[in-house]
Amino acid sequence: MLYSPKKLFLFFLSCIVLYVNYNNSGFVTAANSIGLNYGLLGDNLPSPSNVINLYKSIGISRIRIFDPNTEVLNALRGHRDIEVTVGVKDQDLAALAASEEAVKGWFAANIESYLADVNITFITVGNEVIPGPIGPQVLPVMQSLTNLVKSRNLPISISTVVAMSNLEQSYPPSAGMFSSQAREQLVPVLKLLSQTSTPILVNIYPYFAYASDPANIRLDYASFNTKSIVVQDGSLGYSNMFDAIFDAFVWAMEKEGVKNLPMVVSETGWPSAGNGNFTTPAIASTYNRNFVKHIASGKGTPKRPNKSMNGFLFATFNENQKPAGTEQNFGLYNPSDMRPIYKLF
């Protein structure tokens, strides 16, 4: 049975938790704990205005877009109750890294005109480009953007989005350590963020770990579907893989002298099709539902207990212009009729 967006509203409305608003004051505010990624790689997607109406109908107050799309940003005008994370395109990084003036020009062209009536709270510089050939371009762009927003006293945080490919080792979590390339490219970024306690955004997908080794990774452990301890790491016990991956990244940061840096989960999710029995609507529903409950509980992870976190589910819609297979099937909603793909709540 499919559930209408309005029926989902009551649950999302209940997902109110206390989280730290990571600005210099450290002020603690109440806000919805779950956001949604809004991807645009489809030729059958609803209009941005209809998508914004969907978000408001289900109580979503935080979204992430991957580039400063003018149609989406224009649709967000006047909806300042929705916090927006805007990405800098990967292909723009080289030109922006060349000079601070180029960054000022990008900001003027893509962000400036929306400051009055769109609630842009984060700008992310690159999406999973560290570690990699263009990874070194991230830090100078972040520095220039940080200088810009600071000079104008704008309440916009500057960060980047990274994948778990930065980890050379992640099991057990306490053995978490960065690869040599990640240490070269990521650690300077982490130290820049540490100066203002600005979160690093991380993409965490237990699905990919499970799908690559189903013989040795339990599905219930990967999908938040057991309360029993599956991995014991010293005094820390793990009943789900998400926490283990999250904490492995925390351990890796600490080994580089970066402690207590906030982390925002910029992407997580489970595809509902594309890889046989590993990707069914039932499993996707279980993972996403339990992730929301986990975040909303505010209990944190074994390494960071009782420290609530913010997270974005990936993604709002199935996107038919992404690579065939699972990549097209992470959506919560069918783009054609905006109905839920499976029972989520």
- What does the chain come to in residues? 345
The structure tokens 């999406």 sit at: 127
Q: Indicate the DSSP class of residue 210.
A: H
Q: Compute the radius of gyration of the chain from its Cα atoms.
A: 19
The structure tokens 């926490």 sit at: 243
Which of 97, 89, 34, 60 shows the shortest CA–CA distance to 269? 34
Whether 25 shows a pLDDT value over 80: the answer reads no
Residues 6+ apart with CB under 8 A from 246: 202, 204, 263, 265, 301, 303
Q: What is the pLDDT of residues 118-158, one digit of tens each?
A: 999 999 999 999 999 999 999 999 999 999 999 999 999 99
Whether 286 shows a pLDDT value over 80: the answer reads yes
Average pLDDT of the chain is 91
Q: Which residues pair with 202 in a beta bridge?
A: 162, 265
Q: Indicate the DSSP class of residue 207.
A: H
Q: Residue 146 and residue 197: Cα distance in Å, rounded?
A: 13
For residues 11 and 109, which has the higher predicted lDDT (pLDDT)? Answer: 109
Whether 209 shows a pLDDT value over 70: the answer reads yes
Q: Assign 279 a pLDDT band (cuts: 50, 70, 90).
A: very high
Q: What is the pLDDT of residues 158-202, one digit of tens each?
A: 999 999 999 999 999 999 999 999 999 999 999 999 999 999 999
Whether 32 shows a pLDDT value over 60: the answer reads no
Q: Where are the chain's structural domains?
A: 31-333
Q: What is the pLDDT of residue 345?
A: 55
Q: What is the pLDDT of residue 31?
A: 33
Work out the average pLDDT over 92-116. Answer: 98
Work out the average pLDDT over 76-80. Answer: 98
Q: Assign 344 a pLDDT band (cuts: 50, 70, 90).
A: confident
Whether 245 shows a pLDDT value over 80: the answer reads yes
Q: What is the pLDDT of residue 101?
A: 98
Please give the span between the terminal C-alpha atoms of the chain, in angstroms, as a whole number: 12
Q: Assign 19 a pLDDT band (cuts: 50, 70, 90).
A: very low
Q: What is the pLDDT of residue 308?
A: 86
Which of 300, 340, 301, 297 shows the shortest CA–CA distance to 318? 340
Report cis status (omega within 30 of 0) of the bond before 131.
yes
* CATH code linked to domain 31-333: 3.20.20.80
Which of 207, 172, 201 shows the shortest CA–CA distance to 312? 201
Question: What six digits make up the tokens of 171?
Answer: 């099991």
Q: Kindly state the percentage of the chain with pLDDT values over 90.
A: 89
Q: Assign 26 a pLDDT band (cuts: 50, 70, 90).
A: very low
Burial level of 180, CB count in 10 A (0-12/13-18/19+)?
exposed
Active site residues: 128, 267
